[in-house]
Structure 1
Amino acid sequence: MADRTGIVMEIKNKKACIMTPGGEFLEVKIKGTIPTIGSVYTSSQVNKIPFYKYATVAASLLVFISTGGIAYAYYTPTASVTLNTSLELKLNRWNKIIKTAPLNKEGENLLNSLNVKNKNINDGLNLLVEKYENKEEKISLDITSEKNKDLDLSNFKDSSKEKN
């Protein structure tokens, strides 16, 4: 690197911060005797950021982006199940219940007595159906999903056949 000359503004460890005639502040290596603040000093410029710091930043950015992408995918609804017009369940791409919304007072009471968030749709529906069976009401499901999303309710179907 080319030698740089300037007025010494600060000294840290084995480096000096100098101000060049052009008004630029640079960090240079101290060779030999330590200069005094305010004196003119000439030395080679120090690399500002070592390579390992770039690698650390790149790795951190990669972790941040991938974590954000996974969280976005998990909390993006891809299907919706409405149970007896009293509550709505929003599902993610892995058939997990990510959001519950009561549509009336009955749905609100049902959700207050059960926690089905982050459960598999089959397990959540089985819990909700058990509550409804105590009331001896008919159960209706209204399912809406993205066009290429397959909603796997096979375990729920099997358990509901066993109960009949």
Structure 2
Amino acid sequence: MLRTDSDMIPTSAALLIVGCVLLPMISTLDINMAVILPFDDARPFSVRKIRPAIEMARRRLEKDQVLSESTTIVFHYGDSRCHSAHGINSAVSLHMEYNVDVFLGPVCYGPALSLARQCIFWNLSIISGSAVSRDSILKKQITFSSFTDQRISTPCRTYCI
């Protein structure tokens, strides 16, 4: 017997409903976020100074029920030392150990630039606060498909290839 598309709609709809109802009950999703910041408290954006804001954002997501109950955001912290070599080393280590989904930081120019270059190959996103200015990217004619520069005073900018 030849089946038409209209015969398959109820089956597809049933699978979708079962998937939407049962999947959240039987599976969990961990979103692994690597936070690459200097551990040195002399820096204005050190982990100790920024971590409370990150935790506040996580609690807000939970309170507002933005994520499903089966979704957990896990933060992994690495020391950039505001140095390219240390920043990329922390990023690679965290990526390999935790299979990172997204990077927050680095906030210093050198490590941010190094990580932005590497994330092209990993196809991962970076969210950074004022790390690489738009002018410096345009001046050097560098574009990154996964870099978002988040500044407090201006709307979020995404630089795309």
Instruction: Please identify which structure carries the higher strand content.
Output: 1
With a CA cutoff of 8 Å and minimum separation of 6, indicate the structure with the bigger relative contact order: 2
- TM-score bucket (shorter structure): under 0.3
Instruction: Please identify which structure carries the higher helix content.
Output: 2
Q: Which has the larger radius of gyration?
A: 1
The TM-score, its normalising length taken from structure 1, stands at 0.26
The TM-score, its normalising length taken from structure 2, stands at 0.26
